[in-house]
C-alpha cells in the first residue's frame, strides 16, 4: 500500500528493464540458497550482465557442478515458497554495524564507499542483502532459470584482492526463451575457437611462454597469412603504402602522445636500456607520426595512407584472457591517414567503404555501428579543445549520414584523443564482435606539432585518421573460426584438398596430381599412409578439409578424381582439368 506521494515506475515483462529486474532478483535468490547450504559464506556482489547474472562468494569449499545442482534445487524451494521481497533503509553507520555483525566484510567495504546518509536493503525470508533494487514482487514470479558455470574472480577486479568464486546464471520469463538461449549456448560451445583450434592444430598457448601470447602452428599461420595477404592487396589497390615500426620506444614518446597519462594501466612497466626507459608499444600511432615528420610535407602530398600490421602489447589481467579473443600481444591491422581538413570527409567515406568490403569478403553480412563520443562532464578523461572534438565528431556523423548508415550514439566511449566509429560484426549465430574502428584525431598532430605546407605557403595542422578494418589479427582469426565453426570456405581453408590413394598402387598417380595442384597454387596434401581409404576419409572429414580427392584404377586411367566435398558430399568422378576450373572459380568468388 502506498501511504505517501511517490514516483512509480513500471517495467513490462517483455522489456529489457523487466528482464534485468528479474535476473537481479534471481541473483538474490541464488545468494540466499548458497547461504542456506554454506552458512559461513561471505557475500560479494550480484549484478546482472548481458544475457544473465552472477554473484561472487568467498567460500572455503571449492564449488563443483554437483554443487550448482544442489544450489538450483534450493533455489526452486525458495521460489516455491513465494517469499516477498521487502525493501528497508538504515542509516549508513547502523548498516555498517549490522553487516559487520553478520560477518560480511565485503558488504561493509561497499557501504563505506557509499556517500548517502542512508542505504537500502532487500529482504526475502531470512535473507537480507545490501541492494538499491528494484526487485520483482516475490520469489514465486520466477519461472525459468539456469546456473551455468563457476569461475574465479578477484574482489573488485584487483589482483591484490582475495579471489572469490563467481557463479554465472541466466533467466527468462518463459521456459521457451530459456530453452532457446541454452540451445544458443550449446551451439556457441561447439564453435569455441579454443577447442576447434586444438582439434585442427591451428595455435596454442603456453604457460612457460607467458599467458596471453599466441603460438601460431603451421595451419593457423597459413590462415593468418591468407588474411594478411588479402588485406595488403586491397590496401595497395586503394592507394595505401605499408610501413613497419619498432616494438619499443623511449618513455617520453608515450608521455608526449598522452598514452602514459591516459592509458598507463594497460601498458607494461618500463624497460631499462643503457639508463634510458623504454616501453613496449601499446599503439602504433606515435611511430607513424615520427615517420611523417621526417620530411616537410606539402598539401600536394596529402593524403598519405600508411597501413601497418603492427604487433602491440597491452597488459590484460590473467582472469580476462580468453584464447585468441583477449590476449596480451597482438597484431593490429592498423593504418594512419594524414590529410587536410578539406579531405577528411572523403577519407572517412573511403575507410567505411573498405571496412564494408572487407567484412563482406570474409562472410560477415550484418553489423551494428556505434558513434563513440565523449561523456558529459568527463573532460578530464580526454585531451584537446572542445571545438576540435566537435569538428571530429561532426566529420564522422556526416560521413555516416551520407552513406545512409544507421548508428547508435555512445557517450563516454570515445578514445582519449578523439571520437570514433565502432563497427560490431555479427557472426553466424548472431553474436557481436568488435571489428573496424575509425577515429578522427586533431590532438596528436597538436601534441607532436605535425603540419603540412598549404597553398598559401604557411604551415597548417594536419588531421589524422586512425583506423582498423578487421581489428587484431588474433581476435579476427578467432572470430573467423567461430563464425565458420572451423569449416572454412575454400579460399580461407589452410588445407584446401587432400588426395587419398586407395592402395599403394595408386600413389604414383596421387603424387603426380599432388605436384600439379601445387603448381597451380592450391594448398594440398597427399595421404600416402597404409590406412584404409574409409579411415582416410574419416580423418579428412574430422579435419574439415573442403575437398577429399579419392584416386584408384579408374581415376588413374581416365585422368580424373573422385571428389568428396564437405558441402555436397560425393560428387563422383570429375576430369582433372574441370576440377581445377571449378576450384579456381570457387576461390575467386570466395564461396
pLDDT of residue 432: 84
Residues 376 and 501 in one domain: no
Pick the last residue of a domain from 137, 166, 187: 187
Q: What is the CATH number of the domain that holds 502?
A: 3.40.50.800
Residue 565 grid coordinates: 566435398
Residue 490 lies in a domain: no
Which of 229-238, 290-299, 424-433, 464-473 is least confident? 424-433
Residues 442 and 523 in one domain: no
Residues 344 and 422 in one domain: yes
Residue 570, pLDDT > 70, answer: yes
Residue 24 lies in a domain: yes
Residues 102 and 232 in one domain: no
Q: What is the CATH number of the domain that holds 67?
A: 3.30.980.10
Question: pLDDT (tens digit, 9 = 90+) per residue, 57-105?
Answer: 999 999 999 999 999 999 999 999 999 999 999 999 999 999 999 999 9
Q: What is the CATH number of the domain that holds 295?
A: 3.30.930.10
Residue 286 lies in a domain: yes
Number of domains in the chain: 3
Residue 193 lies in a domain: no
Residues 240 and 92 in one domain: no
Phi and psi at residue 539, in whole multiples of 5°?
-65, -45
Helices (H), 153-248: 175-190, 193-199, 218-237
Residue 486, pLDDT > 60, answer: yes
Residues 177 and 211 in one domain: no
DSSP for 461-484, please give it.
E-EEEEEEEEEEHHHHHHHHHHHH
Question: pLDDT (tens digit, 9 = 90+) per residue, 27-66?
Answer: 999 999 999 999 999 999 999 998 999 999 999 999 999 9
CA distance 81 to 75: 10
CA distance 165 to 148: 13
Residue 349 lies in a domain: yes
Residue 192 lies in a domain: no
Residues 297 and 445 in one domain: yes
- Mean predicted lDDT score pLDDT of the chain: 92
Residues 475 and 505 in one domain: no
Residue 492 lies in a domain: no
pLDDT of residue 13: 58
Residues 378 and 295 in one domain: yes
Residues 80 and 165 in one domain: yes
Range of the domain at 94: 16-187
**Strand, helix or coil at 122?**
strand
Residues 288 and 381 in one domain: yes
Which of 233-247, 357-371, 383-397 is least confident? 383-397
Residue 502 lies in a domain: yes
Residues 346 and 477 in one domain: yes
Residue 511, pLDDT > 60, answer: yes
pTM of the model: 0.84
Amino acid at each position: 500500500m502506498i501511504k505517501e506521494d511517490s514516483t512509480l515506475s513500471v517495467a513490462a515483462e517483455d522489456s529489457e528493464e523487466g528482464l534485468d529486474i528479474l535476473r537481479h532478483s534471481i541473483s538474490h535468490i541464488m545468494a540466499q540458497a548458497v547461504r542456506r547450504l554454506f552458512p559461513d559464506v561471505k557475500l560479494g556482489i550480484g549484478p546482472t550482465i548481458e544475457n544473465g547474472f552472477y554473484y561472487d562468494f568467498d567460500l572455503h569449499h571449492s564449488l563443483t557442478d554437483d554443487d550448482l545442482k544442489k544450489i538450483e534445487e534450493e533455489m526452486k524451494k525458495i521460489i516455491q515458497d513465494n517469499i516477498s521481497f521487502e525493501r528497508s533503509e538504515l542509516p549508513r553507520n547502523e548498516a555498517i554495524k549490522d553487516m559487520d555483525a553478520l560477518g560480511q566484510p565485503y558488504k561493509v567495504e561497499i557501504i563505506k564507499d557509499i556517500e548517502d546518509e542512508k542505504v537500502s536493503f532487500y529482504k526475502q525470508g531470512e535473507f537480507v542483502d545490501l541492494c538499491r533494487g528494484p526487485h520483482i514482487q516475490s520469489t514465486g514470479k520466477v519461472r525459468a532459470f539456469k546456473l551455468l558455470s563457476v569461475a574465479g574472480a578477484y574482489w573488485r577486479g584487483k589482483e591484490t584482492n582475495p579471489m572469490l568464486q563467481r557463479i554465472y546464471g541466466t533467466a527468462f520469463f518463459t521456459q521457451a526463451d530459456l530453452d532457446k538461449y541454452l540451445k544458443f549456448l550449446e551451439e556457441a560451445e561447439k564453435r569455441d575457437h579454443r577447442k576447434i583450434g586444438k582439434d585442427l592444430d591451428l595455435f596454442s598457448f603456453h604457460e612457460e611462454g607467458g599467458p596471453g601470447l599466441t603460438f601460431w602452428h603451421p595451419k593457423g599461420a597459413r590462415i593468418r597469412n591468407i588474411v594478411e595477404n588479402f588485406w595488403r592487396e586491397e590496401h595497395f589497390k586503394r592507394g595505401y603504402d605499408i610501413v613497419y615500426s619498432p616494438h619499443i620506444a623511449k618513455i617520453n614518446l608515450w608521455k608526449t602522445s598522452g598514452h602514459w597519462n591516459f592509458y598507463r594501466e594497460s601498458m607494461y612497466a618500463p624497460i631499462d636500456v643503457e639508463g634510458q626507459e623504454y616501453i613496449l608499444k601499446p599503439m602504433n600511432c606515435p611511430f607513424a607520426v615520427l615517420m611523417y615528420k621526417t620530411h616537410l610535407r606539402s598539401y600536394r602530398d596529402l593524403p598519405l595512407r600508411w597501413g601497418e600490421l603492427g604487433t602491440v602489447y597491452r597488459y590484460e589481467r590473467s582472469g580476462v584472457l580468453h584464447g585468441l579473443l583477449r590476449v596480451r600481444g597482438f597484431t593490429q591491422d592498423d593504418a594512419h591517414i594524414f590529410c587536410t581538413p578539406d579531405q577528411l570527409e572523403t577519407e572517412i567515406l573511403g575507410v567505411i567503404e573498405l571496412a564494408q568490403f572487407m567484412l563482406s569478403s570474409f562472410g560477415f553480412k550484418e553489423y551494428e555501428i556505434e558513434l563513440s563520443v565523449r561523456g558529459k562532464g568527463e573532460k578530464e578523461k580526454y585531451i584537446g579543445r572542445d571545438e576540435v572534438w566537435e569538428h571530429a565528431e561532426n566529420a564522422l556523423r556526416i560521413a555516416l549520414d551520407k552513406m545512409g548508415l544507421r548508428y547508435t550514439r555512445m557517450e563516454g566511449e570515445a578514445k582519449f584523443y578523439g571520437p570514433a566509429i565502432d563497427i560490431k560484426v555479427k557472426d553466424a549465430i548472431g553474436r557481436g564482435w568488435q571489428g573496424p574502428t575509425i577515429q578522427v584525431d586533431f590532438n596528436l598532430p597538436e601534441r607532436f606539432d605535425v603540419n603540412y605546407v598549404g597553398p598559401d605557403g604557411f604551415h597548417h595542422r594536419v588531421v589524422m585518421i586512425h583506423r582498423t578494418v578487421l581489428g587484431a589479427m588474433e581476435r579476427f582469426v578467432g572470430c573467423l573460426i567461430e563464425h565458420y565453426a572451423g569449416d572454412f570456405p575454400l579460399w580461407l581453408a589452410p588445407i584446401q584438398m587432400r588426395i587419398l590413394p586407395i592402395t599403394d598402387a595408386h600413389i604414383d598417380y596421387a603424387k603426380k596430381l599432388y605436384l600439379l595442384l601445387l603448381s597451380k597454387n592450391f594448398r594440398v596434401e597427399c595421404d600416402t599412409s597404409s590406412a584404409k581409404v574409409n579411415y582416410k576419409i574419416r580423418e579428412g572429414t574430422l579435419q574439415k578439409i573442403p575437398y577429399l580427392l579419392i584416386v584408384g584404377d579408374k581415376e588413374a586411367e581416365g585422368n580424373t578424381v573422385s571428389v568428396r566435398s564437405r558441402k555436397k558430399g560425393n560428387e563422383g568422378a570429375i576430369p582433372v582439368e574441370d576440377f581445377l576450373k571449378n576450384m579456381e572459380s570457387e576461390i575467386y568468388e570466395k564461396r
